[in-house]
Amino acid sequence: MSNRSTSDPDSTLQPIKLLWKLMSGFRAYYGRAIFALFVFTLINYATPLVGSATLDSAFSKSAPESPLTRQLIAWMGGAEFIRNHLWFPALLMIGLTLLAGFFSFLKGRFAAMASDGIARKVKDQLYDHLQRLPAKYHDRAETGDLIQRCTSDVETLRMALSSQVVDISNALLLLISAVPIMFLLDARMALISFTLVGPIILYGYFYIGRVKHLFLEVDEAEGQVTRVVQENLTGLRVVRAFARQEFEMKKFAEPNKLYRDRSLRLLRLMSWYWSTSDLIVLAQQGLVLLSGAWFISQGSLTVGTLFAFIMFLNILLWPVRQMGRTLTDLGKSAVALTRMGEILSEPEESKPPGNCVPDGPAKGRIEVKDLVFSHGEETAAINGISFTVEPGQTLAILGPSGSGKSTLMHLLLRLYDYQSGSIQFDDRELKDLDRQWVRSQFSVVMQEPFLYSKTIGENIRLGREGAANEEIQEAARLADIHDTIRGFPSDYSTLVGERGVTLSGGQRQRVALARALLRETPVLLLDDALSAVDAETEATILQALRQRHGKRTTLVIAHRLSTLSHADRVVVLEHGKVIQQGTHEELVVQEGLYRRLWTIQNAVKAEVELSTGDQSPIHPISR
């Protein structure tokens, strides 16, 4: 995944455009939050003004110079009334504080509703988009990094939207409203109060410029840690089988150290900002206090006005100081948005012109002609393959590792698109058919069957949603796994653990086969689906499949010739080309790879039978 330069103007605007798009449907909540913030700000400034008017009424014999304070005293009933009823301004300040708290609650509530809704929307979009991205994207993407982008980065965005958007509005409203009020109270004190506000803002601006790139580095380092952990947990059994715990610890230590070092650099820079900005804020408050005390001693300022300025500074300076943190978090969320945008900007699987979806059920006829496909390497994975499978027939595919067997299956499922040649499905070009429709016509058992962390029954039912228990059990019988399942303590309700870890390799394959058989599609693809089962179980499953011969087109990839010998036709691949083609009886008498493998496997079988005392003759498995 490429990282675009932060100096590119388009890369700066891109997160803003994406954010505005993601906020669709939730902008009204932010409007309500900002309105509540506006009312909260007005009330927040009214409270110190009431305190200022009370102090000036109680301790000053002369009328205040500020027209704003004089009007407020008059509105409260006059100086004499205030002096005789001090409970009234106290009660008024308590009421204003409670009202400000209520609007602060509304502000937070609306912002939280918007941010949580956007976070949920983003996660849904990311998850949905990842399901639709082509297989080539997932071939090069790192799972740990994708998890990081869909979880940690989304949480970073949620936190920014829940507070930073409102915080920026808060700081702007405070500045805009504070300036006229403070100048109406006393122009000299207003100028002194804003002496160090500019330096605070400038310091925050330069700080965010330095810290922004660090957020990307920390995010990438965290993604590396997540990737290593994910790989280790996925392959935990392999790690223990090879006693590689110490090696894995060292492998984990390197990205973990990198993450720690980058995080410390970020924290050191942040600590400098906080300490320096604190010093500036306290210096500003001290300057106002000393200046006010001097003006009071000269008789040109009232105690109430100084009280108002000190309170205003407490209200104003801390949000302005927080702008550095706010801008920092916004910088971090911009990085997170960019990383999420990289996923969302990836093109989904291409759709054919017209996105053809044939009417009626498919027959299952497959014709491959001069097929060529390459993963990008110089050597083609498939180079000129041709064969035909009629509806209901069984085609067996044999070949050494790397000969293109699994790649052919992937092309039939349209996980990849071939560069040249043709695949006809029911006399229609496969590239012209809708991908989802094509995949709905195939039942597949992959070379490495994947089971979800669900019950056995739920894993089989994935083949056809809503299938009755009797249908699930019948599919399990065909896959020769029913009796095994009934022997588990919880029967079909037995949890299989993540990736089916509680089952043996052969049991996982048979559960996956039952899932595929339950689906009842026109075509069944078996990619070395019986490699982990014993010979007796394999014979039982093949017998069950032979009884269903003619009901669906079946393509079988296997290395054991006993699995392939029942097929109507066998295709032998080598280096992406068809080197032999025919029935089992035809190929076993021809010179070539098939006959050599048959001789070797029969010789091995004979040795095993002699060592166990079984002298039964060896015969090819008939169809």
User: pLDDT tens across 535-590, in order?
Assistant: 777 778 878 877 777 788 989 888 777 778 788 899 999 888 999 899 888 888 88
Is 50 exceeded by the pLDDT of residue 244? Answer: yes
Q: Which domain holds residue 315?
A: 21-202+265-344
Degrees, nearest 5: CA angle 321-26-131? 105
CATH of the domain at 52: 1.20.1560.10
State pLDDT tens for residues 315-342. Answer: 777 776 666 667 667 777 887 888 888 8
Q: Which of 326-335, 370-379, 416-425, 497-506 has the highest mean pLDDT?
A: 416-425
Residue 100 confidence (pLDDT): 87
- Most distant CA atoms of the chain, gap in Å: 124
Task: Classify residue 539: in a domain, yes or no.
Answer: no
Q: Which of 4-18, 448-462, 521-535, 547-561 has the highest mean pLDDT?
A: 448-462
Q: What is the pTM (predicted TM-score) of this model?
A: 0.71
Task: Classify residue 179: in a domain, yes or no.
Answer: yes
How many helices, marked H, and strands, marked E, lie in the chain? 24, 10
Is 90 exceeded by the pLDDT of residue 369? Answer: yes
User: Which of 425, 428, 416, 323 has its CA nearest to residue 372?
Assistant: 416
How many domains are contained in the chain? Answer: 1
Task: Classify residue 242: in a domain, yes or no.
Answer: no
230 vs 143: CA distance, rounded Å = 8
The percentage of residues in the chain with a pLDDT greater than 70, rounded to a whole number, is 90
3-state SS, residue 580? strand
Task: Classify residue 281: in a domain, yes or no.
Answer: yes
Task: Classify residue 387: in a domain, yes or no.
Answer: no
pLDDT averaged over every residue in the chain: 81
Confidence grade of residue 422 (pLDDT, cut at 50, 70, 90): very high
Is 90 exceeded by the pLDDT of residue 153? Answer: no
Q: How far is CA 483 from the centre of its chain?
A: 40
Q: In DSSP terms, which residues pair with 523 in a beta bridge?
A: 442, 553
Confidence grade of residue 98 (pLDDT, cut at 50, 70, 90): very high
Is 70 exceeded by the pLDDT of residue 12? Answer: no
Residue 602 confidence (pLDDT): 76
Residue 623 confidence (pLDDT): 34
422 vs 427: CA distance, rounded Å = 11
Residue 389 confidence (pLDDT): 92
- Decide if 339 contacts 6 (C-beta within 8 A): no
Task: Classify residue 412: in a domain, yes or no.
Answer: no
Residue 621 confidence (pLDDT): 35
Q: Report residue 368: phi and psi, to 5°.
A: -110, 130
- Give 462 or 3, the one with higher predicted confidence: 462
Which residues, 6 or more positions from 38, have their beta carbon under 8 angstroms from its beta carbon?
A: 173
Task: Classify residue 180: in a domain, yes or no.
Answer: yes
Query: Among 24-28, 159-163, 590-594, where is mean pLDDT lowest?
Result: 159-163
Question: Parallel, antiparallel, or unpaired: how do β-strands 382-389 and 366-373 relate?
Answer: antiparallel
Task: Classify residue 560: in a domain, yes or no.
Answer: no
